[in-house]
Amino acid sequence: MSFKTSYFKTIFWPRFRQNRFAMAGAFVVAGLFLLSFLAPFITPCDPSAIDAYHVLLPPSPDHWMGTDELGRDVFTRIVYGARISLKVGFVAVGIAIAIGTVVGLLSGYYGGWMDSILMRFVDIMLCFPTFFLILAVIALLEPSIWYIMLIIGITGWMGVARLVRAEVLSIKERDYITAARSIGASNVRIIFRHILPNAAAPVFVAATLGVAGAILTESALSFLGIGVQPPTPSWGNILTSGKDYLEFAWWLSLFPGLAILVTVLAYNLLGEGIRDALDPRLQR
């Protein structure tokens, strides 16, 4: 354990800190967490409070980002929308990472027919246009945030599986695995104690980048009206009304889109920064 802490302190952190873009990404991500947890303290309004007398107002000191077609404060809805995108990002990626890691470990460690079957399954899953698959499943179920997270996760694990498999294939040939086996360690112990921790770094990077992808997918689904359902605010479904009132209310389109842009950018910068800090040879 002490080795790991010292690795973090002496190698990873100094490298990561020098990367200004990665630090900026980390700050934005931290800020988004704060925003989500402290939403009621940051904005005094209720995100679903309808005000028929203040409909489609442009940005002003009272409403920093204007109001929507029902007179709701756009800034408030964007702050609460951060909660949704955070939740979707982490749960969906958690599911994808869990499935992908298990499949990759089994396939890489045991090889043989298990590997063939699992990897063919990955190939098949990759044939479906993911967005079509997600839409088809949602067509069968009621649109709800839980289904959305589940489906984004279930359709997004294939890359992780291939990544983990490749890592396992190279790790299992190392001497310390042979050493562990020679002293009689069980397969389960070798996988969880020796292989998994050494394959964790690239998975962590993939997860960070995956959060960005999941947030984009959720916002696209919500924009099309099959994601997070109103009145729950999500950046995607605010943009839906942005589209309907495009000619009269630019602020309904501009701000939620910027929120998505900044968030996704931050996760991407953070992920790339972590990757570069973990392994400078990969820096391109």
Residues that bind other proteins (CB under 8 A): 120-121, 123-133, 135-141, 212, 216, 219-220, 223-226, 239, 242-243, 246-247, 250, 253-254, 256-257, 260-262, 264-265, 268-269, 284
Task: Give, to the nearest 10 degrees, the angle between helix 251-278 and helix 20-37.
Answer: 130
Minimum gap (Å) between residue 267 Cβ and other proteins: 9
Q: Which of 119, 81, 106 is nearest to 259 (CA)?
A: 81
Length of the chain as a residue count? 284
Minimum gap (Å) between residue 216 Cβ and other proteins: 6
Task: Give, to the nearest 10 degrees, the angle between helix 145-154 and helix 130-140.
Answer: 140
Minimum gap (Å) between residue 213 Cβ and other proteins: 9
- CB-nearer residue toward other proteins: 112 or 129: 129
Instruction: Tell the residue number behind the tokens 């995607």, with chain if given.
Output: 236
Instruction: Tell the residue number behind the tokens 């499949």, with chain if given.
Output: 103
Minimum gap (Å) between residue 253 Cβ and other proteins: 5
- CB-nearer residue toward other proteins: 133 or 185: 133
- Gap between the Cα atoms of 165 and 235, Å rounded: 35
Minimum gap (Å) between residue 130 Cβ and other proteins: 6
Main-chain dihedrals φ then ψ at residue 73, nearest 5 degrees? -75, 120
- CB-nearer residue toward other proteins: 73 or 272: 272
Query: What would the two tokens of residue 10 be?
Result: 């002496």
Contact predicate 168/196, CB 8 Å:
no
Minimum gap (Å) between residue 78 Cβ and other proteins: 13
DSSP state of 141: S
- CB-nearer residue toward other proteins: 11 or 136: 136
- CB-nearer residue toward other proteins: 171 or 205: 205
Minimum gap (Å) between residue 127 Cβ and other proteins: 5
Neighbouring C-beta atoms of residue 127, cutoff 10 Å: 7
Respond yes or no on whether the N-terminal peptide bond of residue 197 is cis (omega within 30° of 0).
no
Burial bucket for residue 9 (CB in 10 Å: 0-12, 13-18, 19+): exposed
- CB-nearer residue toward other proteins: 1 or 127: 127
Q: Is 44 helix (H, G, I), strand (E, B) or coil?
A: coil
- CB-nearer residue toward other proteins: 191 or 274: 274
